[in-house]
Chains A and B, each alone.
Chain A
Amino acid sequence: MKYILLMSGTKAGVARYHAWAPKDIEANMGRLRAMAKKLTDSGEFLGTQGLADPGEAKVVRGEKNGVPVTDGIFPESKEFLLGYWIVDVATPERALAIAAMISTMPGPGGVPTNMPIEVRAFAF
């Protein structure tokens, strides 16, 4: 069964991340790379992507003639998707365990971020 694990945060949270010491960012990225490798080895890894800064996000609607109407203004409280992992696992519990692994990724000073990770099953 396939799951997507979603990591989200606000613009303020992203600004705080950009202020991390390079060493802390490196430790964080290193952990995520190791995890992707582990999931590849276990055959559960389908993909991961980081999204570009929320400042580049646009919201689009179609006008009656199909012309896109774009807007870049979002509420301050909006949680933007920062990145995701797609995994193919044997049980829902395994998806939750992988999400918990992601949640323990190190933050400033190596302290686990304990970020909330949203776990969603694919519909089909």
Chain B
Amino acid sequence: MKYILMMNTMKAGHGVPQWNQKDLQAHIAFMIGLNKELRQSGEFVSAEGLSFPDQAKLVRAGKDGAPITDGVFPESKEFLAGYWIVDVDSPERAYTIAAKASAAPGPGGVPLNMPIEVRPIMSGPPPEML
């Protein structure tokens, strides 16, 4: 069963970009290690980091179908910072991987214990929708 693990912790103007080089390197090394571990266990489907929220755009279609873009988001909005897609045998295993990601090191090497949102992925649309 496939799950997506989402890091939703990034707020505009905060977080990782303000860290010093050493902390950033330790954080990235941890993430590379986690991905390697998941590849070895055969559970890795994909993982990506997203660019910072200042580059995010919100798009709607205008009447003629042309995109109307907006870069203004509510202050409270949590931006997706990155995600993992894993293929695991049980929901509990997805939670264990999420807990590992949660403990990624932050400034001074202290575990961030950031919340990771865990969601099952639908393998396809429900039959009644096809």
**Which A residues are closer than 8 A to B by beta carbons?**
4-6, 22, 25-26, 29, 49-52, 54, 56-63, 66-70, 77, 79-81, 96-97, 99-101, 103-104, 112, 114-124
Contacts and interface: CB of A to CB of B under 8 A. Distances in A.
Interface string B105-130: 00000010111111111100100111
Interface string B2-31: 001110000000000000000000000000
B119 A96 contact: no
Contacts of A103: 59-61, 67
Given A62-B102, A103-B61, A123-B51, A52 B117 contact: no
A53 to B, nearest CB: 9
Interface of B: 4-6, 48-52, 55-62, 65-69, 76-77, 79-80, 82, 85, 91-92, 95-96, 98-103, 111, 113-122, 125, 128-130
B5 to A, nearest CB: 8
A60 B56 contact: no
A70 B55 CA distance: 31
